[in-house]
Structure 1
Amino acid sequence: MKNIFVIGGASYNSVITLDEFPEAIPQTIHNCDFNETIGNTGAGKALAFSKLGFYTTFHSLIGNDSFGEKVMSYLQEPTLNFINDIDKKGTERHLNIMNNKGERISIFMNPSSDVPDIDYSKFEKEVLKASFIVVNIANYCRNILPICKQLNKEVWTDLHDYDGKNQYHQDFIDAATYTFLSSDNLSDYKSFMEEQIANGKKLVVCTHGKGGATAYTINQEWIEVPIIENYTMINTNGAGDSFFAGFLYGFSNGYDIKKCMQYGTITAGLCIESEMITGNRLSKILIEEEFSKYYIK
């Protein structure tokens, strides 16, 4: 069992699903699908990793409140060790408005603190023993990047909907050896990917929602993988994080990049069939069965 350390991103979210986003006019909407659940990029990755057989240590901020207790109640996987610091602002909360295309409007009702009072030296032992380090782009996480560099540990990061110019992301871009992002706000994503490999990164992977995913490797090779159409979309929250986890599952087993992307495609597909931020049925056994079903002829 491989150790993985994930830092940053846990919230308790309200999720509203409508057929279409409402028009920007005063109105009353009488019916919607609604649920509340754990959310955010760190929690999504950590839950997926633990279901895929990694011994996962996950750090995030939560409040000393009922929402923090609810977040912890979801992080009870047998191989998931959740460690936290208390955020004086309370537990992070989002309102996600979804439409039937899987698109999302996310409103941060209570963002986490940008600069919490944390002793970062306590993470050194976790970073040292981990085979993989995943640093999410919550602001407080940038302070662990010098520790990773000092300990000569490679960093995996997810830039999400980076637009190619926002300086907020630069510390994470500079520190990462393996970079993931989406093309939502970056139409010229290939130029960015080429630039990252030219700057010494080992791999860049860009997801495109229904358009599949693209990888650019250290060998300057482009690899494209489409989605699997058979998965029925219920909720797209967490799909990118599940793709990330499935990819790293394949990578940890020594598979080639295309095969890793195929595993990511499976875990993302299983995720969108669930109202949770990971697939309800996700496991090592299931994704191997799904891989045989879709990719072994």
Structure 2
Amino acid sequence: MSAEIDVLVLGGAGVDTIVHVPELPLPFADSYPISPGIETRAGQTGDFLALGLHSLGLRVHHLDLLGDDDAGALVRALHAERGIALTTVPQPAGTKRAVNLVDPLGRRLSLYDATRSAPEDRLPDPLVRELATAARHAHVSITHPCAHALPTLRACGVTVSTDLHDWDGENPYHEPFAHAADVVFVSATRLPDPEPVMRRITERGRARVVVATAGAEGAFLLADGELHHVPTAAPPAPVVDSNGAGDAFAAAFLWAWLAGEPPLRAARFGAVAGAHACTVPATRHDPITRAQLLSQGGPGHA
């Protein structure tokens, strides 16, 4: 029986408040006038990944805990507006929130509200099993309810990806995600030399592919034991905001990889999508489309 879902996205649903600041780090002061102002919108890492995959034509289903609050209503409305399936589990602590400080260069500092979760939070195993059985692939956010879902995903036989974000290569919290996934994304922000960490992931876990994104330096891809450097793609417009660039990279990579493209070509598509995301203000949802990705990503198709 063919899969009903191309990618099941677990976790990462929430709401961000975007605050534009004159510089980062922000020097202490009593007050700052800011422009273009403060705006709250739905969209954290799982939301952006789901939007990116959907924009590229994949069938996406998003699963996460969500509060019965105004923030949760924003997340539900975003998915309904875009036609992305969303299954929610009640979250008494409320929907995940963050404040993103964005400087004129497009750099971002995120402040996450740690009160919007509890140690006992779980995604119900029967629900995870039902959705995973209908899926080709699962992408797992690094929240602890998703960590508890990893064994079920493996038992269902789907391939798994995860994004470790700015892991330092040492924090043990990230290791279950790193070692259970077939495709691992990580930011090189806290990895002066990402190669040893990338190789350790493949040696200790299941990963066939590891990608370390490095901002203006491009990305590093480890596949079949060989390390490649993937240069940045030229952005199609002025860079305004790096928010969501990593999620855009991952979405385009997975789109190509699931279509059978080799990892290096998938990473080049990821670079194009990441560059596009940097031209989109953090207050907007405008992921790259398949037509745009193909036109900017070179000849051929995934």
- With normalisation by structure 1, the TM-score equals 0.91
Structure 1 CA distance, aligned partners of 2:192 and 2:283? 26
| Corresponding residue for residue 62 of structure 1 | 66
**1:266 maps to 2:272:** yes
| Partner of residue 180, structure 2 | 175
Q: Structure 2 counterpart of 1:67, which letter?
A: A
- Aligned ranges for residues 1-297 of structure 1 at < 5 Å? 3-21=6-24, 23-33=26-36, 34-76=38-80, 80-109=84-113, 111-114=115-118, 115-116=120-121, 118-199=123-204, 200-217=206-223, 219-231=224-236, 232-276=238-282, 280=286, 282-292=288-298
Determine the C-alpha separation between the residues in 1 that align with 2:208 and 2:25: 42
Structure 2 distance, partners of 1:277, 1:265, is: 22
> Which runs of no fewer than 5 residues in structure 2 stay unpaired?
none
Could you say what the CA RMSD is over the residues aligned between the two structures, in angstroms?
2.2
Query: Quick one: distance in 1 between partners of 2:278 and 2:285?
Result: 7
Contact map agreement 1:18 1:97 (CA 8 A) in 2? yes
Deviates most, 271-280 or 104-113 = 271-280
Q: 5+ residue gaps in structure 1?
A: none
Contact kept, 8 Å, 1:270 with 1:278, in 2: the verdict is no
How far apart, in 1, do the equivalents of 2:256 and 2:78 lie?
A: 25
For residues 98-152 of structure 1, give each alpha carbon's deviation from its aligned partner in whole angstroms, at most 9, with x where no partner exists: 1123322211236431432542221112111211111110111111111012223
The structural deviation recorded for 1:26 is 3.1
Aligned mates of 2:192, 2:171 — CA distance in 1: 15
Change (3 A) 1:278 1:146: farther
Tell me the matched-pair count: 294
Q: CA deviation at 1:292?
A: 3.3
| Structure 1 position 188, deviation (Å) | 2.4
Q: What amino acid does structure 1 have at the position aligned with 2:252?
A: G
Q: CA deviation at 1:61?
A: 1.8
Paired residue type of 1:239: A
**Cα displacement (A) at 1:27:** 2.3
Q: Distance in 2 between matches of 1:62 and 1:135?
A: 16
Aligned partners of 2:234 and 2:272 also within 8 Å: no
Structure 2 CA distance for partners of 1:94 and 1:281, relative to 1, 3 Å: closer
Q: Summarize the Cα distance change of 1:250–1:226 in structure 2 as closer, same or farther, 3 Å threshold.
A: same
Q: Secondary structure at the match of 1:205?
A: strand
Q: Distance in 2 between matches of 1:233 and 1:35?
A: 19
Maintained 8 Å contact 1:271/1:277 = no
Secondary structure of 1:131's partner? strand
Tell me the alpha carbon deviations over residues 3-55 of structure 1, each in whole angstroms, 9 at most, x when there is no partner: 11010011111111223126442321012333221121111101111111111
Distance 1:282 1:136 in 2: 21
Q: Which amino acid aligns with 2:202?
A: I
Deviation at 1:76, TM superposition (A): 2.6
